[in-house]
Amino acid sequence: MQDFRNLLTRREAMKRAMLSAGVVAVGAIGANAGAMAAGMSGNPGNLLPSGSGTLQELSNRLAKAPRRRDFKTVPMILTDPDQWDSAALNEVLHYAGGPKQVWDNTALKSPWLNLMRNAMNCQIWSFKHADFLCVSATHGTAHFALYDDYIWNKYLSTLTKGKWKSNVWLKEAPASEANPTDFEDSKGVFSPHDNSIAVLQRRGAVFLACHNEVWELTMGLLKKGINPDHLSHEQIAAEFTNHLIPGAILTPGIVGTLPELELAGFQYAK
């Protein structure tokens, strides 16, 4: 009995040492193993499927890629890579995994997020493509979902006549807290109850933003007189650019970037 107690003491001491060193404890290892068996990475910080090493590498690089959000003014046509998120965009264009699909998303009220989620579910669990990359080429009114609450409170709430006062497309639904190892849960994190941009990003989806949309949307605001700070067009376009949601990748223009994506092997979807 004493030997058994000594064994438990040694195990507890080892467990504490592992935790203090930042190593996953035995119980967590078991939980991760279960997650991987169910097709998940086991990392609570993301929802990438197990076996998605290439997609995980891309996600890591995109997290480190700079996003400039300190513009004072921006011009109508971007002519220098420093004016958009060129490093992050190049990571997407040179993605070594696959398959790769780009969605031409233009309508905020369409089921665009649901379609992306369905594509990811099918590619990952039906066709076993763990490194599938799903990209949103976002413009039109769908681009409203790529602005933070500052822009919604200041401009877009008025433009939508108060129907939305914040970016509800970015908010994680209660379903996002469901057990990710149960990918068949009809009300879980991979279900239609969880069509959140934030959750799709955690799954590896990429959302591209459009400078041309920024310019034309702000032009429309100026025509409507929605300009509380009396900014110039170049200044208000800069303000919108500076308040894109976390993780979004600014392009010089979506319709001009789509050919680059197709040349890089992305399958077009609309």
Q: Do 5 and 108 fall within a single domain?
A: no
Q: Do 22 and 83 fall within a single domain?
A: no
Between the alpha carbon of residue 230 and those of residues 108, 184, 212, the distances in Å are 28, 51, 21
pLDDT for 21: 35
The answer to the question of residue 17 being in a domain is yes
pLDDT for 160: 84
The answer to the question of residue 162 being in a domain is yes
**Start-to-end C-alpha separation, the chain:** 68
If one counts the domains in the chain, the total is: 2
pLDDT for 135: 98
Specify the CATH number for the domain of residue 149.
3.40.1260.10
CA gap 51, 95 in Å, rounded: 16
Q: Do 166 and 201 fall within a single domain?
A: yes
Burial class (CB in 10 A: 0-12, 13-18, 19+), 2: exposed
Cis bond leading into 99, ω under 30°? yes
Q: Do 63 and 25 fall within a single domain?
A: no
The answer to the question of residue 47 being in a domain is no
- Give the contacts of 218 (CB within 8 A, at least 6 positions apart): 233, 236, 237, 240
Q: Do 110 and 234 fall within a single domain?
A: yes
Q: Do 100 and 17 fall within a single domain?
A: no
Radius of gyration of the chain (CA): 22
CB 18 within 8 A of CB 24: yes
The answer to the question of residue 96 being in a domain is yes
Kindly provide the residue ranges of all beta strands, DSSP E only, lying in the chain, ordered along the sequence: 100-105, 133-138, 206-210, 249-251, 267-269
Q: Do 181 and 222 fall within a single domain?
A: yes
Q: Do 220 and 183 fall within a single domain?
A: yes
Show the domain range for 17.
1-37
Q: Do 33 and 56 fall within a single domain?
A: no
Segment 19-26 long-range contacts (CB within 8 Å, at least 24 positions apart)? none
pLDDT for 159: 86
Q: What is the mean pLDDT of each run of 10 residues along the chain (270 residues)?
A: 41 39 33 38 66 96 97 98 98 98 97 98 98 98 98 93 90 91 93 95 97 98 96 98 98 98 97
The answer to the question of residue 137 being in a domain is yes
Q: Do 30 and 106 fall within a single domain?
A: no
The answer to the question of residue 42 being in a domain is no
CA gap 178, 188 in Å, rounded: 5
Between the alpha carbon of residue 1 and those of residues 9, 51, 122, 183, the distances in Å are 12, 43, 53, 44
Single-letter residue type at 255 = V
The answer to the question of residue 201 being in a domain is yes
Q: Do 120 and 164 fall within a single domain?
A: yes
The answer to the question of residue 140 being in a domain is yes
Angle CA(256)–CA(98)–CA(109) in degrees, nearest 5?
55
Q: Do 57 and 33 fall within a single domain?
A: no
